[in-house]
Structure 1
Amino acid sequence: MDHLVLEIGLAVVLIAIAGLLSARLRFSVIPFYILIGMAVGPHAPKLGVFDFRFIESAPLIEFMGRLGVLFLLFYLGLEFSVGRLIRSGRSIVVGGTIYIAINFTLGLLFGLLAGMPYKEMLVIAGITTISSSAIVAKVLVDLKRTANPETEMILGIIMFEDVFLAVYISILSGLLLSGSTSVAGVALSAFVALAFMLAVLVIGRKAVPLLNKALDIRSNELFLLVIFGGLMVVAGFSETIHVAEAIGALLVGLVLAETEHMKRIEHLILPFRDFFGAMFFFSFGLTIDPTTLGGAVWLSLAAVAVTLAGNFAAGLLAGRSAGLSAKASVNIGLTIVSRGEFSIVMANLGKAGGLLAVLQPFAALYVLLLAILGPLLTKESKRVYRLVRPLLGEERPSAAAVGPSDTSAAAASAPAAEKEG
C-alpha cells in the first residue's frame, strides 16, 4: 500500500478490531495490539498478489507511538504527585537498587550460562534488566491501581531504572562503538540525569502557585496547546540530555498533579492517551520480524523464566524494605515484569556494535512473551499471591481464631480489599 491516509485509517480499524476481540475474550489488550502489528508490519510475508503490509506509513505510526508513550506516562504522573514521590525518596532508592542489582546480576549469569561472549553478556543483561515504562503505565491505569500503596514504589523503580539506563548506555556505547569508555563521561551522564529529575520535581513543586495562575485559561483549545507545548518541550529536552523522553513526560505529569487544574487536564488528556497509546503498541508490533523468531525460542523462554523469578524476588524484597505488605510487594514484582522499548534499544545497540545476530530475534521474542505475560500476571496478581502465600509464611487466619464478630468485620471489609487489587 502506498496511500498514507488509507494506511493510517486501516491501522486504526485493525487496532479497533484487536481491542474488541480482547474485550470479548476478557484479556489484556496489549498483546493483541502487538500481534496485529506483527501480522501487517514491513517484515510480514506478502500474501500472493495482495500486499497488506504497512510500509509507507510505518515511520509516521512509529512517531504516533512515541506520542503514545508520552501521554501514557504523563497521565500516570497526573494520577500521582510530587509530594508522594518525595516522601518515599529513601525507600525508592533502596527498592530501585535492589531491583537493578538482582535483575542485572541474573542477566549476566544467564548470558554466561548461555555461553555468550562477554560483550553479548552485557547486552543481554541490559535487555533483561529494564522494564517497559509504557506497558507498566498502561497496566496501572487500566487496572485502576494508581492509588495503590505499592504504586509509588513502582514509579520510583521506573525512574531509578532510567538513571541506570543513562549510565549503562553510556558505558555500553563506548565499549561497543568506540572501543573505550570514559569514567568521567559516565559519571557526568548519571549526574545530569539525576540532577534533571530532581530539578524538575523541586522547581515544579515550588512553581505550583505560578502554574495555577498561568493555567487559568477558559478556552479548552488554548489550554491544551499550553499543556501539550510544555509536555513536548520538557520531554524533548530530557531526551537531549540522555534522559528518556517518557521520564520527562512523567515528571511533567507529577508536577501538574499538584495544581488545581489537575482534574481538567486529566479529563482532556484521556482521548489522546487512549488513541496514541494504542498506536504505540501497534507500532511496536510493526518493528518485530516474525520470520527471525524461531532461532531464539529456547534462549528467550529461558530468559523469561529467569526474569519472572528475578522480578518476583526483587519486588518482594523492595516492597518489604519499604514496609509494604507481602501482597503489595508481590504486585510490584508482577507489575514491572514487562519488557519493551528499552530492551529493543539494547538489542539494536548490539547490532550496531557487530555482535551476534541472535541478539535481535532473542530480544524481540523475549519482549513479546513478557508483553503478553506481564499484563496477564498483573491482572491475576490476587491469585498468584494466594498461591505463594504459604511459601511466604503467611497463612490465612482460620474462622475459629478470628471469632464470630471478627469474621463479620472481615467480611464487611472484603469488598474494599478486593477493590484495592
Structure 2
Amino acid sequence: MDHLVLEVGLAIALIAAAGLISSKLRFSVVPFYILIGMAVGPHAPHFWHLDFRFIHSEPLIEFMGRIGVLFLLFYLGLEFSVGRLVKSGRSIAIGGSIYIGINFTLGILFGLAAGLPFMEMLVVAGITTISSSAIVAKVLVDLKRTANPETEMILGIIMFEDVFLAVYLSILSGLVLSGSTSLAGILSSAGIALGFMLALLIIGRKAVPLLNRALNIRSNELFALVVFAGLFLVAGLSETVHVAEAIGALLFGLIIAETEHMKRVEHLILPFRDFFGALFFFGFGLTIDPLALGGAVWLSLGAVLLTLVGNFVAGMLAGRTAKLSPKASANIGLTIVSRGEFSIIVANIGKAGGLLAILQPFAALYVLILAILGPLLTKESKLIFKLLNKVLPLDRRERRKSPQPPG
C-alpha cells in the first residue's frame, strides 16, 4: 500500500503513452490499453528490479474501470432516447433472438467438436455468445457512429444480451455450482430482469417533466452531484436485480436523453468517460496472465473464426429484419464481435465449479484476440463489406456501382 499513489500515477502515464502511440498509428486505442495492462500486470514476468507490477493498485484500478464502463454506457444512452428504441422494439427482439440463437448454437457445436464434456460445453457457449458492451460503446463513440441507423439495433442487441445473460447465469450457476437448477428460479430471474428494464424505461419517460425541474440547477457542482447520484443509484439498483450495472447506466442515459438538460449532461460526462474508460481497458489487461495462454491457442483461434462468421451472418439477418441496408447490417455484426467482461464472468463460474482448467486460458486468449480484432474490424467495416461484396451477393446495387475491369 506504500506505493499505491505511485502505482496509479504510473498506470495513468502508461495509459497516456499507449494513447499517444495509437494516435500516431491511427489505430483504435482499446488494444493498446489492454496490451500495456498485460505487460505490467501482476501476472507479468518479473522484468524490473522494483517490481512495480500494479499488485497493490489492481483492485483500485479495477473499481475505477467499473466506473468507466458506467460512464461509457451512460454516454451512449445519451445519444439516443427511449422513444427511438421503443419504436424499434419488435425488430430489436427479433434481431436479438437471431444473434443469440446463432452464436449460442455455434458455441455448443464448437464445444461438441472439441470433445468437451457437457458442462464445459455450456461454459464455452456462454463465453462465445455475449459481446462486450464496454468495448462496443467505446468503439461507437470513438468512430462517431452513434447517429448511424444500425446503432439502434446494436444497442437493442446489447440490452437483449443482458436479459439472456441473467437467465443463462442462473442456469449455469445452478448446474455447475450446485448441480441442479429450478425452472421457477430461471423464469423468476428472467422476469425480474426484463420487468426492471421495462419499468425503468416507462417510469423514466413519464418522469421527464419532473427530471427537467429537478435538474434545473445553476451550480455546476450540485448539478454534477445530482446526475452522478442518479447514475450510480440506478446502476447499483440494476445489479441487485441481476441486470448488469452497465445496462442500468445505459437505461439511465436513455431517460436523461429525453430531458432538456441532455446537452449539459453530455458536456459534463465527457472527461469522466474518457479517463475512467481508459482505466477499464488497462485494468482488463491487468487480469490476463500472458504466461497461461499458450495451451489454448488452437482452441481459441477456432472459436474466434467461428465467432467472426456467426456474428457476420447474425448481423446481416438482424439488419434485414429491421429493413436496414446490407452495408448497415454488416456493420452490426462487425461492431458487436468484441468479447470482454461478460465472457470472463462465465469462465469464472466454470473455474469455481472445478471444471477443466483449459477454460480459463481459453477465455482469456479468446477475449484478448477479439478485444483487439473487434475495434479494427469495426473501423474497417466499409472496406471489409466492399471486399466481401465482390465475392458474395451481399448488395447487388453496390456491385453495380463498382467499376468493372476493362474487357
Q: Same fold (TM over 0.5)?
A: yes
Q: Give me the whole-angstrom Cα distance separating, in 1, the residues matched to 2:261 and 2:118.
A: 51
- Equivalent pair of 2:74/2:249 in contact (CA under 8 Å): yes
Q: Deviations over 1:28-82 (max 9, x none)?
A: 1000000000011111111253312000000000000000000000000001110
Q: Which runs of 5+ in 1 are unaligned?
A: 402-421
Structure 2 equivalent of residue 38 of structure 1: 38
In structure 2, relative to structure 1, the CA distance for the partners of 1:400 and 1:65 (3 Å cut) is closer
Match of 1:218 in 2: 218
Match of 1:271 in 2: 271
How far apart are the structure 1 equivalents of 2:388 and 2:117? Answer: 36
Within-5 A mapping of 1:250-329: 250-329=250-329
CA distance in 1, matches of 2:122, 2:154: 25
Residue 112 (structure 1) shift: 0.4
Write out aligned runs for 1:2-401 (5 A).
Answer: 2-47=2-47, 49-390=49-390, 391-395=392-396, 396-398=399-401
Query: What RMSD in Å do the two structures reach over aligned CA positions?
Result: 1.2
Cα 1:213–1:287 change in 2 (3 A) is same
Contact 2:102 2:310 in 1 (8 A): yes
Change (3 A) 1:125 1:69: same
Shift of 1:387: 1.0
Distance of aligned partners of 1:314 and 1:46 in 2 relative to their CA distance in 1, 3 Å threshold: same
Q: Single out whichever of 298-307 and 392-401 deviates more from structure 2.
A: 392-401
| Alpha-carbon distance, 1:388 to partner | 1.5
Unmatched 5+ stretches in structure 2: none
Letter paired with 1:397:
R
Contact 2:326 2:394 (8 Å CA) reproduced: no
Deviation at 1:358, TM superposition (A): 0.6
Once the two structures are overlaid, the 10-residue window that deviates more, 43-52 or 198-207, is 43-52
Distance in 1 (CA, whole Å) between partners of 2:344 and 2:55 is 20
Please tell me the residue identity of whatever aligns with 1:323.
K
Letter in 1 for 2:393: L
**In 2: Cα distance, 1:85 partner to 1:182 partner:** 33
User: SS of the residue aligned with 1:146?
Assistant: coil
| Deviation for aligned residue 1:392 | 2.5
State the Cα deviation string for residues 320-345 of structure 1 (Å, max 9, x = none): 01100000000000000000000000
Q: Secondary structure at the match of 1:258?
A: coil
Q: Partner letter of residue 202 of structure 1?
A: I
The number of aligned residues is 401
- Report the 3-state secondary structure (helix = DSSP H, G, I; strand = E; otherwise coil) of the residue aligned with 1:54: coil
CA gap of 1:271–1:398, structure 2 versus 1, over 3 A, is closer
Cα distance in 2 for residues equivalent to 1:373 and 1:6: 32
Q: TM-score, normalised by structure 1?
A: 0.94
Distance 1:33 1:115, change over 3 A: same
Please, what TM-score do these two structures have when normalized by structure 2? 0.97
Per-residue displacement from partner, 1:240-288 (whole Å, max 9, x unpaired)? 1110000000000000000000000000100000000000000000000
Write the distance in 2 (CA, Å) between the matches of 1:360 and 1:12. Answer: 28
- Quick one: which amino acid aligns to residue 168 of structure 1? Y
Task: Tell me how far apart the structure 2 counterparts of residues 397 and 105 of structure 1 sit (CA, whole Å).
Answer: 35
Shift of 1:399: 8.8
Paired residue for 1:411?
Answer: none
Letter of the 2:395 partner, please give it.
Answer: E
CA deviations 1:110-132 (Å, max 9, x no partner) are 00000100000000000000000
Following superposition, the deviation at residue 389 of structure 1 comes to 1.6
**Structure 1 counterpart SS, 2:145:** coil
- 2:7 and 2:52 in contact (8 A); partners too: no
Within 2, Cα distance between the matches of 1:260 and 1:130?
Answer: 34
CA distance in structure 2 between the aligned counterparts of 1:393 and 1:56, rounded to whole angstroms:
51
